[in-house]
A and B are shown apart, each in its own frame.
Chain A
Amino acid sequence: MTGISSPLPREAQHAPSVLRNLRVLLTQIAAIADSEIQKLRHDPVELFTRVIQPVLWLLLFGQVFGRVSGIPTGGIPYQSYLVPGILAQSVLFIAIFYGISAIWERDLGILYKYMMSPAPRGALVLGKAISAGIRGLSQAVMVYLIALMLGIHLRHDALALLGVVGIITVGAAIFSTFSLIIACIVKTRERFMGIGQVLTMPLFFASNAIYPIALMPPWLRVMAAGNPLTYQVDALRALMLPGYHLAFSIQTNIAVQAGTLVVLIAVAAKLYPSILD
Chain B
Amino acid sequence: MSRWAIEAQDLCKRFGSFLAVDRLSLCIPHGCVFGLLGPNGAGKSTTIKMLTTLAAPTSGSARVAGYDVSTEAVQVRRRIGYVPQQQSADPDLTGFENLLVFARLYGIIEQRRARIVEALELMDLADAKDRLVRHYSGGMVRRLEIAQSMLNDPEVLFMDEPTIGLDPLARHTVWERVAKLRETHGTTIFLTTHYMDEAAALCGIVAFMNTGKILDSGPPHELTAKYGSGATLDDVFIRLTGQPLAKSGTHA
A residues contacting B by CB (< 8 A) are: 1-11, 23-24, 27-28, 30-32, 34-35, 38-39, 42-43, 105, 108-110, 112-119, 276
The reply to whether B54 and A27 form a contact with Cβ atoms under 8 Å apart is no
How far apart are the CA atoms of A5 and B79 in the complex, in Å?
15
Binds A, one of B25-33, B226-234, B243-251: B25-33
The reply to whether A117 and B31 form a contact with Cβ atoms under 8 Å apart is no
The reply to whether A6 and B82 form a contact with Cβ atoms under 8 Å apart is no
Task: Determine how close the nearest CB of chain B comes to the CB of A16; give it in whole angstroms.
Answer: 11
The reply to whether A43 and B92 form a contact with Cβ atoms under 8 Å apart is yes
B residues contacting A by CB (< 8 A) are: 1, 3, 5, 29-32, 52-54, 74, 77-80, 82, 84, 86-94, 97, 100-102, 104-110, 132, 148, 152-155, 182-183, 185-188
How far apart are the CA atoms of A34 and B1 in the complex, in Å?
37
The reply to whether A1 and B1 form a contact with Cβ atoms under 8 Å apart is yes
How far apart are the CA atoms of A119 and B105 in the complex, in Å?
6
Task: Determine how close the nearest CB of chain A comes to the CB of B187; give it in whole angstroms.
Answer: 7
User: Given that A28-B104, A112-B84, A113-B84 are known contacts, is A9 also in contact with B30, CB under 8 Å in the complex?
Assistant: no
The reply to whether B155 and A6 form a contact with Cβ atoms under 8 Å apart is yes
The reply to whether B152 and A9 form a contact with Cβ atoms under 8 Å apart is yes
B interface: dominant SS? loop
The reply to whether A31 and B90 form a contact with Cβ atoms under 8 Å apart is no
Interface residue from A1, A11, A105, A109 paired with B78 (Cβ < 8 Å): A11
Contacts of B29 in A (CB 8 A): 1-2
How far apart are the CA atoms of A38 and B99 in the complex, in Å?
13
Q: Can you show 11 pairs from A to B with CB atoms below 8 A apart?
A: A1-B31, A27-B104, A28-B104, A31-B101, A32-B101, A35-B101, A39-B93, A42-B92, A110-B89, A116-B54, A118-B105
Q: Given A4-B186, A6-B188, A39-B93, list of 16 further CB < 8 A pairs?
A: A3-B31, A4-B31, A6-B31, A9-B79, A27-B104, A28-B107, A31-B100, A34-B100, A42-B92, A42-B93, A109-B86, A112-B54, A116-B77, A118-B77, A118-B78, A119-B107
How far apart are the CA atoms of A24 and B31 in the complex, in Å?
29
The reply to whether A27 and B109 form a contact with Cβ atoms under 8 Å apart is yes
Contacts of B155 in A (CB 8 A): 6, 8-9
The reply to whether A116 and B52 form a contact with Cβ atoms under 8 Å apart is yes
The reply to whether B88 and A110 form a contact with Cβ atoms under 8 Å apart is yes
Contacts of B82 in A (CB 8 A): 112-113, 116
Task: Determine how close the nearest CB of chain A comes to the CB of B134; give it in whole angstroms.
Answer: 10
Task: Determine how close the nearest CB of chain A comes to the CB of B5; give it in whole angstroms.
Answer: 8
Task: Determine how close the nearest CB of chain B comes to the CB of A2; give it in whole angstroms.
Answer: 5
Q: Which residue in chain B gives the minimum CB-CB distance to A107?
A: B86
Interface residue from B90, B94, B152 paired with A108 (Cβ < 8 Å): B90
Contacts of B100 in A (CB 8 A): 31, 34-35
How far apart are the CA atoms of A4 and B92 in the complex, in Å?
40
Interface residue from A11, A30, A42, A115 paired with B108 (Cβ < 8 Å): A11
Contacts of A24 in B (CB 8 A): 107, 109
Interface residue from A4, A23, A31, A42 paired with B105 (Cβ < 8 Å): A31
Task: Determine how close the nearest CB of chain B comes to the CB of A229; give it in whole angstroms.
Answer: 29
User: Given that A112-B84, A115-B54 are known contacts, is A2 also in contact with B106, CB under 8 Å in the complex?
Assistant: no
How far apart are the CA atoms of A116 and B106 in the complex, in Å?
10
Task: Determine how close the nearest CB of chain A comes to the CB of B135; give it in whole angstroms.
Answer: 11
How far apart are the CA atoms of A105 and B98 in the complex, in Å?
13
How far apart are the CA atoms of A117 and B107 in the complex, in Å?
9
User: Given that A112-B84, A117-B102 are known contacts, is A35 also in contact with B31, CB under 8 Å in the complex?
Assistant: no
